[in-house]
Amino acid sequence: MPMSSQAEHYARQFLQARAAAQSLAPISKTSTLSIDDAYDIAKSLDTIRMAEGETPIGRKLGFTNRTLWPKYGEKEAINAPIWSTLFDSTIRYLNDTYTVQSLTGAMRPRIEPELVFKLGRTPAKEASIDELADCLEWMAHALEIVVSPYPDWQFEAADAIAALGLHGTLLIGEPRILSNATRHHLGQVLANASVSLSCDGTLLAAGFGSNVLDSPLHAIWHLHQLLKTQTQFNPLQAGEIITTGTWTDAYPVLPGQTWSTAFAGIGLAGLSVSFS
């Protein structure tokens, strides 16, 4: 297990590689790296980024889509979600359903259609899932651009945590305020909803809310429970935004492409993004 100095060393290595758009070999290739070790690195990443002036604004969940678990992990398949801290420097709130996004500096970028939520109230430590839903202020459609310093996207779960959760940029569409009635049935509504993902007018994938730990609400619940065991991190707080993971596989993106989404079963507009 890395001592604190080793965790900081690895954290700075990942930040430098990202800034220079340089590849790295997974730590697990040459050293033993547990999930706990990786979150020690994540904690060091948070500390360094805040010291450099970035502001944490929420959490990013990854690998919440169980259908994708067998596709990732070399020594063993991914078998649980991961999370990382979201910072203001990587978030864009969109004023329209169409935008242009630069891929400059993005290492092996891929696109993921997701839902994002904002916590209007801090959930109690022992809140039920229904009480957690009551704490949500709004939800929005988002496109996350995930990135990987690892060649061919080959890594273990712990490597993904250490590499800033593979987060690149989050593009957030117009928020929809959640009514009391919507919150009451939110888990079921989201589980039954679907999204399509197209590139340059060609449909590539369809995904379902039920793919995301049975519902994106359950993904937030999973994070709330996990944070009880990770006392080095703060529990969920009012004001945080939480992105809950992709509904489809993550697809490679290239400059010149335009990607679009559309929902069924949920009152959210799709998004379109052209990459430059």
Are the C-beta atoms of 32 and 26 separated by less than 8 Å? no
pLDDT at 76: 82
User: Does the pLDDT value for residue 215 go beyond 50?
Assistant: yes
Average pLDDT in the 96-107 region?
Answer: 98
CA separation for the pair 171, 246 (Å, rounded):
13
CA separation for the pair 126, 137 (Å, rounded):
19
Report which of residues 2 and 182 the model is more confident about: 182
DSSP states of 203-236 as a string?
EEEEEEGGGBTTSHHHHHHHHHHHHTT-TTSPPP
**Model confidence pLDDT, tens digit, residues 43-72:** 999 999 999 999 999 999 999 999 999 999
User: Does the pLDDT value for residue 148 go beyond 60?
Assistant: yes
Name the nearest CA neighbour of 212 among 233, 237, 231, 186.
Answer: 186
**What does each C-alpha distance from 188 to 85, 133, 208, 218, 222 come to in angstroms?**
27, 12, 12, 10, 16
pLDDT at 1: 46
Average pLDDT in the 146-161 region?
Answer: 96
Average pLDDT in the 144-166 region?
Answer: 97
pLDDT tier at 74 (50, 70, 90 boundaries)?
confident
In CATH terms, the superfamily for domain 4-275 is Fumarylacetoacetase-like, C-terminal domain (3.90.850.10)
**What does each C-alpha distance from 95 to 25, 98, 212, 251, 271 come to in angstroms?**
38, 8, 27, 24, 11
* Residue 75 CB burial class (10 angstroms; 0-12, 13-18, ≥19): exposed
User: Does the pLDDT value for residue 20 go beyond 80?
Assistant: yes
Q: Where are the domains of the chain?
A: 4-275
